[in-house]
Amino acid sequence: MGILERPPPPALKRIAYGGDAFQFGEIRLPKGTGPFPVVMNIHGGFWRSQYSLDHAGHLCAALGEAGIATWNIEYRRLGNPGGGGKGTFGDVRRAADYLPTLADAYPLDLNRVVVMGHSAGGHLALWVAACPPFDDAFKFKGVVALAPVADLVMAWQLGLSNNAVEQLMGGSPTDQPLHYALSNPIQRLPLGIPQIVVHGVQDEIVPIAIAEHYVNVAQSQGDFCILERLPTAGHFEVIDPATREWGVVVKAVKSLLYGSDS
């Protein structure tokens, strides 16, 4: 049974960060008293409503076993009322800005917060990291982008997932140049924080060429950005704690939370 079909371990609590039915996240805490470092996780699914945060519960539980708290967020997607475009982006931003409120109720260390996302969630993770926080209580220490759609223009050119990018953005890059400029991570560089991109060489859903292009541009702009190539991995190994590739993901997260020697 694949990662998308396996029932996830339960979260500690589901918490609303807004008034819409899809504006919520799930918090998980490691054993102990804290304060704990935090990963804000954003699931993928080409921004479509048929994919939810449930499958990401596996990786969040695994991070908990490694001593890391997680804020696994849901957001309005294509097919949900208000999903796509500004709705999707606004929800992710709002979920990030809710972290200081979470820290009032749970033992979270806001000096050690990393944002992570997979596929379309990797796009959103890189995007939200480029947004200055409304609250000075925290700043992301870095981004772990797992098989990310890191360049919307390139993804549009490739027509990934039946032109999902055009559905998200409401048109082509020519139709919506300002929207792409604001929403495309590669056009928001430099981010000014470290980025680790983890991508399977055998990925046929989001080609590794997108990650290679993004990392090259990020490095040319002066960002610390590295690409971890997984020679035998496809698209989903990076989010499955049962795979051998999962260790690369945990190492990347810890290196950003604790430093390169972790």
Q: Whose CA is closest to 92, among 146, 131, 140?
A: 131
Q: State how far the Cα of 246 lies from the Cα of 208, in Å rounded to an integer.
A: 18
- What local confidence, expressed as pLDDT, does residue 260 receive? 59
Q: Report yes or no on 178 lying in a domain.
A: yes
List of residues 6+ apart from 6 with CB closer than 8 A: 55, 58
Q: Is residue 1 part of a domain?
A: no
Other C-beta atoms lying within 10 Å of the C-beta of residue 178: 7
Q: Is 0.75 topped by the overall pTM?
A: yes
Report pLDDT for 41: 98
Dig out the tokens for 19 from the structure.
């008034």
CB-count burial class (<10 Å; 0-12, 13-18, 19+) for 259: exposed
The dihedrals phi and psi of 72, each to the nearest 5 degrees, come to -95, 110
**pLDDT tens readout for residues 219-232:** 999 999 999 999 99
State the residue range of the domain holding 70.
13-258
Beta-bridge partner residues of 73: 25, 42
The mean pLDDT values, 10 residues at a time, for the chain of 262 residues are 88 97 98 96 97 96 98 98 96 96 97 97 97 77 98 98 97 96 97 97 98 98 98 97 97 92 50
Q: Does residue 201 lie in a domain region? A: yes
CA nearest neighbour of 52 among 76, 81, 17, 70: 76
| 188, amino acid identity | R
Q: How many CB atoms lie within 10 A of CB 72?
A: 27
In the block, tokens 């208000």 appear at 82
Q: In this structure, is residue 149 part of a structural domain?
A: yes
Give the separation between CA 151 and CA 141, rounded to whole angstroms: 22
Q: Is residue 4 part of a domain?
A: no
User: Following DSSP, what letter does each residue of 114-164 receive, concatenated?
Assistant: EEEEETHHHHHHHHHHTSPPSSTT----EEEEES----HHHHHHHTHHHHH
Q: What's the number of domains the chain is made of?
A: 1
- Size of the chain in residues: 262
Tokens standing for residue 1: 């049974």
| Residue 3 resides in a domain | no
CATH assignment of the domain containing 157: 3.40.50.1820
Q: With H, G, I as helix, E, B as strand and everything else as coil, classify residue 78.
A: strand
Q: Are 15 and 24 in contact (CB under 8 A)?
A: yes
Judge whether 231 lies within some domain.
yes
Q: What is the pLDDT of residues 90-107, one digit of tens each?
A: 999 999 999 999 999 999
Distance CA 189, CA 186 (A): 6
2 located within any domain: no
